[in-house]
Amino acid sequence: MKFGTPQPELMPGARNAVETCLGVRPGEHVALIADEASRAVAASIAAALDDRNASYTGLLLEEFGPRPMKAAPADVLEALETADVGVMCMTRSRANWVRAWPS
């Protein structure tokens, strides 16, 4: 999944998130999950991951059905289970579906 064109004004924060906050190392694999409203942020994080030589699996939540979701989509769970790092870019108003996920 390509999230689109990274936004230049978001790139400093995206690089900081990838390199400093998340500590993603070159060669690691990241699960990058986003909603439509956060697509520009996800695109910028994806570009920062590319710059870091880290691969990613990108998933757009709206492709899995309407929200709020009653359960986590299998593809999302699989991506998180196989990733070294997981990132979720979601707007707060759409986050209520996370409460339904098993812990």
Q: pLDDT tens, 64-101?
A: 998 778 888 999 999 999 999 999 998 865 445 454 44
pTM > 0.75: yes
Predicted local distance difference test score (pLDDT) of residue 74: 96
Predicted local distance difference test score (pLDDT) of residue 43: 98
For the chain, how many residues are written? 103
pLDDT tens string 6-59: 999 999 999 999 999 999 999 999 999 999 999 999 999 999 999 999 999 999
Class of domain 8-98 as given by CATH:
alpha beta
100 in Cβ contact with 68 (< 8 Å): yes
Give residue limits of the domains in the chain: 8-98
| End-to-end Cα spacing for the chain | 26
Predicted local distance difference test score (pLDDT) of residue 19: 97
